[in-house]
Structure 1
Amino acid sequence: MKVKICGIMDVETALKAIESGADALGFVFADSKRKINSDQARKIIKVIPDEILKVGVFVNEDPDVIRKIVNEAGINVIQLHGDESPEYCSQYSVPVIKALSIESQEDLNQISQFSCDYYLLDSPKGKYRGGNGVTFDWNVLTGENLDGKKVILAGGLSIDNVEQAIEITAPYMVDVSSGVETDGKKDVNKIKIFINQAKKRSMHGIG
C-alpha cells in the first residue's frame, strides 16, 4: 500500500515522513492553512529522494501558474482539486491526479470522464477543497469496477481508521493530512504510526 502525506511545510517533517515509508508528499499551493509558495517547496524538494512523488496541489489555478511552480519547485505530479474539466486536466506534461468529491455511488461516474494518471476520491467540500478531516461512505466503492484505475483514497483518514478504509476500498494509495496532525501541525509520530498501519495491510496481501 502506497501512502501520501499531504500538507508538508518543512524539511524535517518531509524527511521524517520518508524515513517512515511515505511514497508521496503533497505541497499545497491553494487556499489552505497549509499553503506554501514555490520557494518554500523548492527548499524541501531539493533534499527529497528522486523516487518520491512530489505532488503540487492546486484549485482552479491558471495553467501558466501551475507550469511555473512545477518548474521552479521541482514538483513532479500535479493534483487538481477544483472544478477542472477533463480538457483542462489533459494539458500537462507531468502526471495528473484529479480529485473528486464523493457523496454517493453516482459521483463515481465522474471518473470515466477523465483520462488522468490517478483519481483522488475525497469527501464533499468543506471550508477548503481538502484537508477537512471528514470521511465519506467507503462502501460506495465496494463492487465498483474501476478498470484498474489508480485510486487514491482521501478524506478523514487517521491512525484510527486507515486499516478499515483499506480493507473496504482496496485503493492504490491512501492520502492523509489533518489525520496526522496535533493542534494543526504535522505530528511525526502519528505519521509513522499511520504509515505502519497502512503498509501492514500490504503484508496481508492487500495493496
Structure 2
Amino acid sequence: MIRVKICGITRREDALAAAHAGADAIGLVFAERSSRYIDHELARSICRVLPPFVTRVGLFMDASAETVRSTLEGVPLDWLQFHGRESQDFCRQFGRPWMKALAMGGDLPDDPADYDQADALLLDAHAPGQAGGSGETFDWSRAPRVARPWVLAGGLNPDNVGAACRQLSPDAVDVSSGVEVRPGVKSDKLIRDFMKAVKHG
C-alpha cells in the first residue's frame, strides 16, 4: 500500500477533506517563504479537527533549532520534514521521526548517502537551495536507489500519480499544488481523484 500525504494544508476544512478521502498524513508548512506558510495558532486549530491516526507533519526550510523547538512546543507534530540545507545532525536532534527532502532538480541532485540516518527520504523536483511546491515534476529515471523508506513528490496530480506509482513503487507520495485550486486552497474533488489514482494505479 502506497501512503499519501496532502501537504500545504492551510484550512481546517481541507485537512478534514484529506482525512475523509483516506490520506495518511497532512503537511503543515512553517517555512515563511512559502505561500502555504501558517502560524502556530492556525496549525493547532487544524490539528485539533483531525481524526485519530492521521499523521501531522511539519515542514521546515533552514529554520533555526530554536524555531523548530518553539513549533514543537506549540503544535502537536508527529514527523518533521526538512527542505533546506540542514545537516543530518541538525535534523535528528528534535526527538521526532524525520525525513529529508532531496532536491532532484538541477544538474547535481542531492546525495541520499548524506542522510543515511533519516527515517525517510523525500525526492522532490526543486533544485538544490530552492523551495518545493512548484508543481513541476523531475525526470523519474533519475531517481536514485534508496535503501530506506522514501516518498515521491514534485508535480504529482491525479493524472500522473498512477503512472508514477507504477514506475517507481515509492513507499509514499506527497502532493500539494496538484490538488489545489490556488496556493493553499485544496479541492475536495482533486483530493478524492488523487487518492483513487494512487489506490488503483
Do both proteins adopt the same fold according to a TM-score greater than 0.5, normalized to the shorter chain?
Answer: yes
User: How far apart are the structure 2 equivalents of 1:126 and 1:97?
Assistant: 16
State the Cα deviation string for residues 64-120 of structure 1 (Å, max 9, x = none). 211111221111111100011122112120011101101379736x11121111111
Provide the alpha-carbon RMSD of the alignment.
1.9
The equivalent residue for 2:180 is 181
Q: Tell me the SS of whatever aligns to 1:46.
A: helix
Which residues in structure 2 correspond to 1:52-201 (within 5 Å)? 52-103=54-105, 107=109, 110-114=111-115, 115-125=117-127, 129-141=131-143, 144-147=144-147, 149-184=148-183, 185-201=185-201
Q: Is the 8 A contact 2:27 2:57 kept in 1?
A: yes
The equivalent residue for 2:41 is 39
Q: Tell me the SS of whatever aligns to 1:9.
A: coil
User: How far apart are the structure 2 equivalents of 1:40 and 1:128?
Assistant: 25
The equivalent residue for 2:6 is 5
* Unmatched runs of 5 consecutive residues or more in structure 2: none
Q: Is the 8 A contact 1:70 1:76 kept in 2?
A: no
Aligned AA (1:84) = E
User: How far apart are the structure 2 equivalents of 1:127 and 1:191?
Assistant: 29
Q: Tell me the SS of whatever aligns to 1:56.
A: strand
Aligned AA (2:192) = K
Aligned AA (1:161) = N
TM-score of the two chains, using structure 2 as the length reference: 0.92
Distance 1:54 1:168, change over 3 A: same
The equivalent residue for 1:204 is none
Q: Tell me the SS of whatever aligns to 2:159.
A: coil
| Residue 23 of structure 1 pairs with residue 24 of structure 2 | yes
* Unmatched runs of 5 consecutive residues or more in structure 1: 202-207
Q: Is the 8 A contact 1:77 1:96 kept in 2?
A: yes
Aligned AA (1:11) = R
Identical-pair percentage: 38
Aligned AA (2:167) = I
Moved over 4 A (4+): none
User: How far apart are the structure 1 equivalents of 2:128 and 2:150?
Assistant: 21
Aligned AA (1:197) = A
Which stretch of structure 1 is more off in the superposition, 95-104 or 155-164? Answer: 95-104
